[in-house]
Amino acid sequence: MAIPVIDFSKLEGKERGETLARIANGCEDWGFFQLVNHGIPVELLERVKKVCSECYRLRAEDFKASKTVQLLNKLVEEKGDAADAKRLDNVDWEDVFLLQDDNEWPANPPEFRETMREYREELRKLAEEVMEVMDENLSFEKGSIKNAFSGNGEHQPFFGTKVSHYPPCPRLDLVNGLRAHTDAGGVILLFQDDQVGGLQILKDGQWIDVQPVANAIVINTGDQIEVLSNGRYKSVWHRVLTTSDGNRRSIASFYNPSLKATIAPGTNKDDSATTLYPKYAFGDYMDVYVKQKFLAKEPRFAAVRAV
């Protein structure tokens, strides 16, 4: 099985209906799909790769001194190749930092800030285009998901970009690249490494690779899209495996509701389905999520139902 790869440009032509159906299938049956011909210039994507790789090179020594590396080194020293060596299940083999509109960004390399600012604006626009396609497929009014995320325009949705690298790991059996989880928010747009794999999703009880596709943007639906669609779209478990060679680059952008936004299943004129999820403030959901990120999502929904 392979994650669906969809030509986003075909929404503008005679294949629009088929393309809408393929995106609906990606949301309903997979929770992940890849977009090609999405309108983001290849030249910009090449610059993003370059500045993010260079940024990690400047940070590499910090990762080598990180808690995760220290814990693994200590475990190997104590246990060596012993069969009873216990996995480090509470850390990730990941170097990571977050870019937001209002936080401090790395100053080096010199081109980093300008390049990533330009990239984030392109991704923000693409996220809103994808949400409008979801609106159409769900028979919502145009702009419904964006309005839900912004409290009908009263608040600013959150848009963050997580820049990660997963360096070569000496003991793949003892640590995760990134532990399995579902994403808390709305629409996630990932520009993943096109040489080094490792990202997997759980489908029908099996872990499946998200195959690298050059210059594609991987889309996945978060927990809030599952709620707004009343379970028609699912957020799915995913993880990153460690690798012994290759330094995996991963640039994930998150278009999430404002913490003040109220989230509840959406409705359309033909919808008579029973509401399967509670109504809650997204901030309340995040209070639960930060404590339960790597656990099943159903108790999170139950917890906010009780708030």
Tens-binned pLDDT, residue by residue, of the chain (307 aa): 799 999 999 999 999 999 999 999 999 999 999 999 999 999 999 999 999 999 999 999 999 999 999 999 999 888 777 656 788 999 999 999 999 999 999 999 999 999 999 999 999 999 999 999 999 999 999 999 999 999 999 999 999 999 999 999 999 999 999 999 999 999 999 999 999 999 999 999 999 999 999 999 999 999 999 999 999 999 999 999 999 999 999 999 999 999 999 999 997 756 667 899 999 999 999 999 999 999 999 999 999 986 6
Instruction: Give the residue from 257, 260, 254 showing the smallest Cα distance to 148.
Output: 257
Q: What are the structure tokens assigned to 161, written together? A: 């970009």
The answer to whether 219 touches 26, Cβ cutoff 8 Å, is yes
Q: How far apart are alpha carbons 282 and 268 in whole angstroms?
A: 22
Q: How far apart are alpha carbons 284 and 307 in whole angstroms?
A: 8
Q: What are the structure tokens assigned to 48, written together? A: 């993003």
Structure confidence at residue 267 (pLDDT): 76
Query: How many Cα neighbours within 13 Å face the side chain of 100?
Result: 7
The answer to whether 177 touches 166, Cβ cutoff 8 Å, is yes
Structure confidence at residue 230 (pLDDT): 96
Q: How far apart are alpha carbons 221 and 224 in whole angstroms?
A: 8
Structure confidence at residue 83 (pLDDT): 55
Structure confidence at residue 269 (pLDDT): 59
Structure confidence at residue 170 (pLDDT): 94
Q: What are the structure tokens assigned to 26, written together? A: 């990606």
Q: How far apart are alpha carbons 234 and 182 in whole angstroms?
A: 10
Q: What are the structure tokens assigned to 178, written together? A: 């990134």
Structure confidence at residue 271 (pLDDT): 62
